[in-house]
Structure 1
Amino acid sequence: MSQMLRPLLLLCFLPAVVPLFCFTCVFPAVSPLDCIRFPMKCPAGQLCLSSKAVGLRGDFRVVLYEKSCVLPSLCGLTGEKYAMGLNFTFTNECCNTHLCNAAAAHTAPYWTGTLLTLLLSYSVW
């Protein structure tokens, strides 16, 4: 077989769509650094979400952070919810590259997330 035909043949067997990997928090966190996050393969058509909700009741203020996969229709939304006796105002921000919803200050080296993504993607095939 020709040397040029082998790479082309290999490309034919690759999946058409590569799944997006995003960080997800085990629980909503009070600090961006408290988010116990791990990479997760998103369902097809979903994006990475970073959400911030500020809850107020009088002078008492709570800020919660969440990371996950989400449908594009929920991106860019802001709104209000009432939960746990607090009025929460939330903001959803989305991105569409692998692990793009990481916290601004990384607690683990960047290569750790990249390594986990590669390992997860190979275990799926």
Structure 2
Amino acid sequence: RSSNAEVERLQKELQERTVQIQAMSNKFSNLKEEKKHIQIMADLQKENFRLEELVSELQQRLAKKTELSTEMKNEINDLQLRITDEDLKFKQFQMEHNDLLGKLALLRHTEQQTQVLIEHLQIRVLYVPV
């Protein structure tokens, strides 16, 4: 009987130890999962920080490009105003040029008529009977 009692006691102890080992195994497994979870969270935080820095850098670059774009648009507007002004001046000079060409043609015609008149007068003066 004492050997049966001893076997039962050992079986009971074995069963208790199996439960303890299982509990420790579960606890160890949970610790490994928790450690894995902590590592994943740390990796995610690092990635979030990196992405936040990237977003900040991209926002700065966008701000610079927007500023440059605004400056270029202003410069384009200024140049367009200058072109319009220069175009008006050119048209005015062109009109003055055409006016002067017309006056020059009129003067040449008048000069030609005067020359013909002078020649007529010279011929009359030369052939005037004395």
Larger Rg: 2
Higher strand share: 1
Higher relative contact order (CA 8 A, sep 6+): 1
TM-score when normalising by structure 1? 0.20
TM-score when normalising by structure 2? 0.20
Higher helix share: 2
